[in-house]
């Protein structure tokens, strides 16, 4: 009989009341005994009994485990616990933070050397390497402690004067200032010398007897320095220092940026050190010694918890230091306690808690200013993490709030202000949310700030003002987010534009640059150079891979060639990643040459492309081969001079080409080779042309007169007789016109008025879908009309009634639109992006960067799925069938790959389960209900992707994906159904061969022989199960870290092993009996249950994982996380095998193809089948070069 619980003393003591409420919660849950409660909470019965004893405050972890086991509200109880912990904390006199033994977020400085512990071995290593190499690079992740190592570890050991600085936006200038302070020369004089000859830095440093130069946060030369020439000069100056030791500190995610500079690659070959996580002993030393220096001690429970929580975690040191600082504020006498640490918020919560408390302390009127300040101090990453941005106080209108500085969230050094450490950007959810709201606007604001500085530096030179597209984007920024100097710059730019419009005529289209051929030759030359040694091959491979990834959006053939060359040189992780990424998702599928200021027309079926240029011929191109197959002479003016083509249009059957210029509209017949001229009713320049229904009529927009007395009208001709007909309708200058298949003309004015009119009768209907006009597009069936407002919004209008049918928020200035896929998709171009939107659901289903600014981009579409995007620099092709399999579903439950394509499942708008299947060659899926009788989602596919698992109230059904027919029904035996309550909350996994299926219920898990529809094993449902690759064994893992392995032929599982890895989120069974456990914090553990050892550990993702799947052969493990990375690990070496960027890893789902050659990823871009097999990726890359880019020369020799 269990012993009765000790009664609580009657008291108003908050601790006793807290314990009484815990007991009441247990009673409300049915009064489970502490032994049963321990099983649910994964703590011992004694620990839980003590938690409700009222004698001392239990830890936060124990409290929350107790509450969750009793189905209590964890958030409410965590708030209560923190309030109680704060009330129980001893009241200490206000302490000067400068007396604290820990620095919080701030990096150690040379004056803090007496408090810098844990890196003694690494400091000795740095000094030893510097004795052999005058130049050294120290790489480390953000938060690894590299700045503190250089400042408080290395510099105090210098033998003479030293220089420490961060490069900033002008690294050469910053270097000159530091050198001038030691030489007695003026900074202007030093800068002039370095600009004239960067190698002169060596002489200046030798004259000043400088021993060590440290350029910390070297990545700023890539993130902040916008001048490539200054960047190159700065790098050359540092590398020229032969008589002074030079050390650079670089974030590891900028290694590839360094590899793009050949001189840096050579210098770094044998001269780099990586700062990794501290060892257990180093952590203990770093935690306890600063406290001991001031007479404090660290409670043993706290020390054990800190070491366990931070061991092998990358980038955790600033969070640890801040948590220790906050724990010091909550110390008990001379002891730092675990209770004080948890009250502060722990490792991951202390910083966010401090930042939120400081932010909330500001009045509401000031909080928006604080928000704008933090956004101004952050530089959004481009393929890398967001970084802090150091600014001059002159950039701010107001003073920096003292509370942010005293809390060490911000650092003020003279006239410079910056976020104290980038860990604040990663660890403060509020700031991350601010940054995610509108990253495009944030980048535009940063560019505006830099442009304002340049304008002021050049005495407000009008030539430095914004114009054109950059001004259009800046105009949309919120004025209250801009400083007074930025507003002045923007107002000056707007005034200059107004003046230019008053005095200038319309400008001709900008000249395109014909450098594609030379660029390809240079890339090929750089790609085929192979070093003689293995080390050189690896270095070259990494450099080529970095270039290939950088070129992904701007030069697809160059990216493919560099990827192949990188993998040929050496199959490094970087080379595999670049090859898989560029072969699996190219930015486009073909490039056509562009002359600079011509116009383009795509035939309706997408097979032919007409491109006008500056010569006397309009080029005719075959889209499939990307080759020019003919030409049409540009029509002449009556005087005999060539006239620039201003409009082109194909007829519906490709037999006619309409050509517009200042001499009229000309119709070329490809059959007869004859070109006939159609004279407009009034002389003018043809600006747009389109064939009407049946190609019987052709319509054109004619512009007459000169600015500002310019007018336009719509004219029409009978193609056969060349007679004009109907009414020449007057329209406004700049109005957009489109003709639907029924012959209705749609006119969209700059004022935002949409007019539908009959060209024959002149009958009109009007609507105002937008505030201000922009672009116009009409679907092939005439049912949907899309209009833009010039501010990043597209209005959808029913073309029959002119009533609104929805709105699309593009988020950027729209430069062109066209319907595709029989009107199901709308292609939207911005200045740097192509987006696809599903018209019916109003969902964005794809987006792709065009690369560097090439706009205004305009799309053309064909009925075969061809999409042509014309820009001022190039003309690119995209094929719908080769894009990721699209769908506007951001919450996929499962994904699979079939021999024919892809399948996926996820809830629809009404949260009903649905099945998505993509027919071969189709970009959009077929959608149908799953057949489930309740709201349980389809959450699993068979390994070959052809079957879907449906959970019902009392059974599991496996249905054929294609037909919906039931293949197998799994019904538990009556004895199991009675004890399990007919509940099937989870299914999976399948064994690799698909023979076995695991299902988990409220009390038990069952392993099924699918073919026989019967159970073979029973296990605890609290455990996760994983089958071995050969399906002969399975392993069980429970939340406490207990692991058991069972042979399928054995009756009972093997002995338990306490692995020590608790709270796993994903579990897998690899080759050689190796198990993998992933925790929510992104840690990935490799375990051998038979040797009972941990064989490896990696930090797989920052911010946790969303899925983890093992390849069918058990050799590769794919993980995806909130850091938007798809990582693939070699389970034998436990090393990163490849890494790919994806759109939204937080909700992504993964699935391997049965043969292991492809990996499906379902995320915001739809479903992408990545060619993981290097052989398959190589074949795809070669195929793309042969098929899509044959006009760029023969594929590399490695393409057979």
* Confidence band of 395 (pLDDT split at 50, 70, 90): confident
From the number of C-beta atoms within 10 Å of its C-beta (0-12, 13-18, 19+), residue 671 rates as: exposed
CATH fold, domain 592-813, is: Methylamine Dehydrogenase; Chain H (2.130.10)
> Does 592-813 match 1027-1145 in CATH topology?
yes
Q: Which CATH class is domain 1027-1145?
A: mainly beta
Let me know the angle formed at the C-alpha of 26 by 21 and 27, rounded to the nearest 5 degrees. Answer: 95
Contact 1168, 1161 (CB under 8 A): yes
Quick one: residue 345, left, alpha or beta (phi over 0 = left, psi -120 to 50 = alpha)?
left
The vertex-100 CA angle with 95 and 106, nearest 5°, equals 120
pLDDT bucket at 586, cuts 50 / 70 / 90: confident
Q: What is the pLDDT of residue 710?
A: 62
Return the CATH number of 14-88, one of 1.10.260, 1.10.1070, 1.25.40, 2.30.29. 1.10.260
pLDDT at 89: 59
CA distances 937 to 198, 892, 1193, Å, are 64, 10, 50
Please state, in angstroms and rounded to a whole number, the distance separating the CA atoms of residues 1043 and 1036: 6
pLDDT (0 to 100) of residue 981: 42
Mapping DSSP to helix (H, G, I), strand (E, B) and coil, where does residue 901 land?
Answer: coil
Q: Are strands 656-661 and 647-650 parallel, antiparallel or unpaired?
A: antiparallel
Question: How do residues 522-551 score in pLDDT, each as one tens digit?
Answer: 443 444 333 345 777 887 888 788 778 877
| Overall residue count recorded for the chain in this entry | 1200
For the record, the structure tokens of 689 come out as 């042309």
Q: What pLDDT does residue 514 have?
A: 32
What is the pLDDT, as a whole number, of residue 313? 61
Give 245's strand partners.
Answer: 212
Q: How many CA within 13 A on the CB side of residue 839?
A: 25
**What is the rounded CA–CA span in Å between residue 398 and residue 476?**
23
CA distance 655 to 659: 13
Rounded to the nearest 5°, which phi and psi values hold at 251? -70, 140
714/747 Cα distance (integer angstroms): 10
Distance CA 277, CA 141 (A): 9
642 DSSP assignment = B
Pairing state between β 335-336 and 297-298:
parallel
C-beta pairs of 196-199 under 8 Å, 24+ apart in sequence: 198/172, 198/233, 198/234, 198/236, 198/237, 198/240, 199/236, 199/237, 199/240
What are the structure tokens assigned to 885, written together? Answer: 């399999």
Q: Which of 250-264, 860-874, 890-904 has the highest mean pLDDT?
A: 860-874
pLDDT at residue 920, as a whole number: 60
> Which strand ranges, in their side-by-side order, compose the sheet holding 947-951?
940-941, 947-951, 956-960, 966-970
The pTM is what? 0.55
What pLDDT is attached to residue 517?
41
Helix (H, G, I), strand (E, B), or coil: what is residue 673?
A: coil
d(CA 799, CA 76): 53
Tell me the mean pLDDT in the region 827-840: 86
Considering 94-108, 267-281, 1072-1086, the range whose residues carry the highest mean pLDDT is 1072-1086
Is pLDDT at 957 greater than 90 in this prediction?
Answer: no
Which of the two residues, 33 and 923, has the higher pLDDT score? Answer: 33
What is the number of other CB atoms lying within 10 angstroms of the CB of residue 235?
23
Q: Where are the domains of the chain?
A: 14-88, 119-276, 281-437, 443-503, 516-584, 592-813, 884-1021+1153-1189, 1027-1145
Confidence of residue 765 (pLDDT cuts 50, 70, 90): confident
Determine the average pLDDT of the residues in 662-680. Answer: 89
Spatial separation of the C-alpha atoms in residues 218 and 225, rounded to whole Å? 11
Other beta carbons within 10 Å of 339:
22
Give the torsion through C-alpha atoms of 330, 332, 334, 338, to 10 deg.
-70
Which class for 285: exposed (0-12), middle (13-18), buried (19 or more C-beta within 10 A)? middle
512 DSSP 8-state letter? P
Q: Of 518-532, 710-724, 1058-1072, give the lowest mean pLDDT range.
A: 518-532
User: What is the mean predicted confidence (pLDDT) over 616-620?
Assistant: 85
**Torsion angle of the four alpha carbons 425, 430, 433, 437, in this order, in degrees rounded to the nearest 10:** -110
Report yes or no: 486 and 449 within 8 Å, Cβ to Cβ.
Answer: yes
pLDDT tens for 621-652 read 898 888 888 888 888 777 667 777 888 999 99
Decide if domain 119-276 falls under CATH 3.40.50.300.
Answer: yes
For residues 934 and 166, which has the higher predicted lDDT (pLDDT)?
166
Does the pLDDT at position 813 exceed 90?
no
Residue range 1097-1140, pLDDT digits in tens: 888 887 678 899 999 999 999 999 877 789 999 999 998 899 88
pLDDT higher for 56 or 10? 56
**pLDDT one-digit tens code per residue, 450-500:** 788 878 876 787 766 776 545 656 777 878 888 888 888 888 888 876 776
pLDDT on residue 96:
52
Task: Tell me how far apart the alpha carbons of residues 1158 and 1171 are, in angstroms, rounded to a whole number.
Answer: 5
At 953 the pLDDT is 64
The torsion angle over the Cα atoms of residues 754, 758, 762 and 766, rounded to 10 degrees, is: -20
Beta strand spans in 1089-1134 (E): 1093-1099, 1105-1110, 1116-1121, 1125-1130
Helix, strand, or coil here: 507? coil
| pLDDT exceeds 90 at position 369 | no
**What is the per-residue burial (b if ≥16 Cβ within 10 Å, else e) of 88-121?**
bbeeeeeeeeeebbbbbbbbbbbebeebbbbbee
Binned at pLDDT 50, 70 and 90, residue 300 comes out as confident
User: Looking at 460-573, which runs of residues are DSSP E strands?
Assistant: none
Average pLDDT value for the chain: 80
Write the CA distances from 984 to 972, 980, 1002, 1066, integer angstroms: 10, 9, 8, 19
d(CA 263, CA 249): 17
Distances (CA, A) of 201 to 150, 170, 182, 210, 299: 21, 16, 13, 11, 51
Query: What distance in Å separates the CA atoms of residue 872 and residue 595, rounded to the nearest whole number?
Result: 9
- Cβ within 8 Å of residue 672, ≥6 positions away: none
Residue 447 has pLDDT above 60, yes or no: yes
Q: Are 794 and 828 in contact (CB under 8 A)?
A: yes
Select from 1168, 1139, 1174, 1140 the least CA-distant residue to 1156: 1174
Distance separating the N- and C-terminal Cα atoms of the chain:
79
Interatomic CA distance for residues 710 and 735, integer angstroms: 12
pLDDT given at position 376:
87
Query: Residue 843 — φ and ψ, nearest 5°?
Result: -110, 140
Query: Residue 935 has what pLDDT?
Result: 37
452: CB partners within 8 A, 6+ apart = 485, 486, 488, 489
Residues linked to residue 986 through DSSP beta bridges, in sequence order: 1000
Is the model's pLDDT at 1151 over the cut of 70? yes
**Rounded CA separation 38/295 (Å):** 39
- Whether residue 394 is predicted with pLDDT greater than 70 in this model: the reply is yes
pLDDT in tens, 553-575: 778 888 898 899 889 888 988 89
Q: What is the mean pLDDT of residues 1034-1051?
A: 90
Backbone phi and psi for residue 820, each to the nearest 5 degrees, phi listed first: -140, 170
């Amino acid at each position: 009989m269990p012993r009765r619980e000790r009664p609580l003393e009657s008291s108003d003591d908050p601790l006793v009341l807290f314990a009484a409420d815990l007991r009441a919660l247990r009673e409300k849950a049915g009064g489970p005994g502490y032994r049963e409660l321990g099983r649910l909470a994964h703590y011992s019965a004694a620990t839980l009994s003590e938690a409700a004893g009222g004698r001392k405050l239990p830890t936060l972890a124990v409290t929350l485990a107790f509450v969750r086991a009793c189905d209590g509200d964890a958030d409410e109880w965590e708030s209560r616990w923190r309030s109680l912990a704060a009330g129980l904390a001893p009241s200490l006199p206000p302490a000067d933070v400068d007396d604290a033994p820990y620095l919080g977020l701030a990096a150690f400085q040379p004056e803090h050397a007496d408090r810098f512990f844990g890196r003694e071995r690494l400091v000795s290593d740095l000094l030893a390497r510097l004795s052999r190499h005058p130049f050294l690079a120290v790489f480390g992740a953000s938060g690894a402690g590299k700045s503190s190592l250089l400042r408080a570890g290395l510099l105090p050991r210098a033998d003479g004067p030293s220089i420490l600085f961060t490069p900033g936006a002008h690294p050469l200038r910053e270097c000159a200032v530091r050198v001038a302070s030691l030489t007695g020369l003026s900074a202007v004089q030093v800068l002039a010398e370095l600009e004239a000859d960067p190698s002169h830095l060596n002489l200046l440093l030798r004259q000043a007897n400088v021993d060590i130069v440290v350029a910390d946060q070297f990545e700023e030369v890539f993130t902040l320095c916008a001048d490539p020439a200054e960047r190159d000069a700065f790098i050359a100056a540092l590398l020229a220092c032969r008589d002074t030791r030079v050390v650079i500190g670089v974030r590891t995610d900028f290694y590839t940026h360094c590899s793009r500079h050949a001189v840096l690659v050579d210098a770094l070959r044998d001269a780099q050190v990586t700062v990794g996580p501290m060892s257990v002993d180093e952590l203990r030393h770093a935690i306890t010694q600063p406290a001991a220096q001031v007479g404090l001690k660290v409670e043993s429970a706290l020390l054990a918890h800190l070491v366990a929580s931070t061991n092998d975690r990358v980038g955790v040191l600033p969070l640890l230091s801040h948590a220790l600082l906050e724990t010091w504020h909550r110390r008990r006498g001379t002891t730092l306690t675990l209770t004080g640490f948890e009250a502060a918020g722990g490792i991951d919560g202390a910083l966010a808690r401090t930042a939120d408390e400081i932010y909330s302390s500001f009045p509401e009127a000031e909080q928006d200013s604080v928000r704008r300040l933090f956004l101004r101090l952050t530089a959004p990453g481009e393929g890398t993490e967001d970084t802090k941005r150091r600014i001059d106080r002159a950039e701010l209108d107001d003073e920096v709030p003292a509370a942010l500085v005293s809390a060490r969230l911000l650092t003020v050094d003279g006239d410079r202000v910056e976020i104290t450490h980038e860990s604040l950007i990663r660890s403060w959810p509020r700031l991350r949310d601010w940054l995610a709201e509108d990253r495009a606007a944030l980048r535009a604001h940063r560019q505006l700030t830099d442009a304002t500085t340049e304008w002021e530096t050049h005495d407000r030179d009008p030539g430095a003002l914004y114009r054109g597209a950059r001004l259009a984007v800046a105009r949309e920024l919120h004025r209250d987010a801009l400083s007074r100097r930025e507003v002045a710059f923007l107002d000056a730019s707007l005034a200059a534009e107004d003046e230019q419009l008053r005095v200038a005529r319309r400008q001709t289209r900008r000249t395109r640059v014909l450098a594609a051929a030379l660029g390809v030759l240079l890339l090929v030359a750089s790609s085929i150079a192979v070093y003689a040694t293995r080390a050189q091959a690896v270095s070259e491979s990494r450099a080529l891979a970095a270039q290939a990834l950088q070129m992904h959006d701007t030069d697809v053939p160059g990216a493919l060639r560099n990827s192949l060359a990188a993998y040929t040189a050496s199959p490094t992780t970087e080379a595999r990643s670049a090859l898989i990424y560029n072969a699996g998702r190219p930015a486009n599928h073909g490039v056509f040459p562009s002359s600079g200021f011509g116009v383009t027309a795509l035939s309706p079926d997408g097979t032919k492309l007409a491109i006008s240029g500056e010569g006397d011929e309009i080029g005719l191109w075959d889209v499939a081969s990307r080759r020019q197959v003919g030409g049409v002479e540009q029509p002449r003016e009556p005087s005999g001079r060539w006239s620039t083509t201003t409009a082109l249009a194909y007829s519906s059957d490709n037999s006619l080409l309409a050509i517009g210029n200042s001499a009229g509209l000309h119709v070329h017949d490809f059959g007869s080779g004859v070109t006939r001229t159609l004279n407009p009713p009034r002389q003018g320049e043809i600006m747009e042309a389109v064939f009407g229904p049946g190609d019987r009529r052709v319509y054109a927009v004619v512009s007459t007169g000169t600015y500002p007395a310019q007018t336009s009208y719509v004219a029409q001709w009978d193609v056969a007789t060349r007679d004009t007909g109907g009414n020449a309708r007057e329209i406004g200058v700049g109005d957009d016109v489109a003709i639907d298949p029924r012959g209705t003309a749609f006119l969209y004015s700059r004022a935002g008025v949409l007019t539908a009119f009959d060209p024959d009768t002149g009958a009109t209907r009007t609507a105002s879908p937008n505030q201000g006009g922009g672009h116009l597009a009409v679907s092939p069936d005439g049912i949907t009309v899309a209009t833009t407002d010039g501010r990043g919004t597209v209005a959808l209008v029913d073309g029959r009634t002119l009533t609104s049918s929805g709105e699309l928020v593009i988020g950027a200035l729209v430069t062109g639109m066209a319907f595709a896929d029989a009107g199901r998709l709308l292609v939207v171009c911005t200045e740097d992006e192509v987006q696809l939107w599903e018209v019916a659901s109003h969902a964005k289903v794809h987006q792709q960067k065009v690369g560097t600014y090439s706009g205004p981009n305009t799309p053309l579409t064909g009925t075969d799925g061809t999409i042509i995007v014309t820009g001022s620099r190039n003309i690119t092709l995209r094929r719908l069938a080769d894009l990721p399999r699209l769908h506007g579903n951001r919450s996929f439950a499962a994904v699979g790959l079939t021999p024919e394509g892809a399948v996926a499942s996820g809830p629809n708008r009404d949260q009903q389960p649905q099945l998505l299947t993509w027919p071969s060659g189709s970009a959009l899926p077929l959608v149908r209900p799953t057949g489930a009788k309740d709201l349980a989602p389809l959450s699993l596919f068979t390994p070959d992707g052809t079957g879907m698992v449906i959970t019902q109230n009392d059974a599991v059904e496996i249905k054929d994906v294609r037909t919906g027919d039931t293949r197998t029904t799994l019904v538990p035996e009556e004895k199991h159904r009675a004890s399990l309550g007919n509940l099937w909350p989870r299914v999976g996994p399948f064994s690799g061969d698909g023979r076995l299926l695991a299902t988990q219920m409220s009390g038990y898990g069952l392993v099924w022989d699918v073919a026989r529809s019967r159970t073979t094993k029973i296990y605890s449902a609290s455990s996760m199960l994983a089958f071995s690759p050969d399906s002969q064994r399975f392993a069980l893992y429970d939340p406490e870290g207990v692991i058991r392995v069972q042979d399928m032929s054995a009756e009972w599982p093997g002995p338990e092993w306490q692995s020590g890895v608790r709270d796993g989120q994903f579990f897998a069974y690899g080759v050689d009996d190796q198990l993998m456990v992933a925790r929510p914090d992104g840690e990935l553990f490799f375990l051998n249950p038979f040797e009972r050892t941990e064989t490896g550990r990696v930090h797989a993702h920052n911010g946790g994982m969303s899925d983890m799947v093992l390849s069918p052969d058990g050799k590769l493990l794919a993980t995806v996380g909130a850091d938007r990375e798809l990582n693939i690990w070699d389970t034998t070496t436990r090393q990163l095998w490849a890494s790919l960027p994806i759109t939204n890893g937080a909700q992504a789902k993964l699935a391997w193809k049965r043969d292991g050659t492809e990996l499906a990823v379902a995320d915001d871009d739809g479903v992408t089948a990545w060619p993981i097999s290097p052989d398959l990726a190589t074949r795809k890359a070669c195929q793309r070069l042969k098929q899509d880019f044959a006009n760029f020369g023969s594929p590399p020799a490695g393409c057979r």
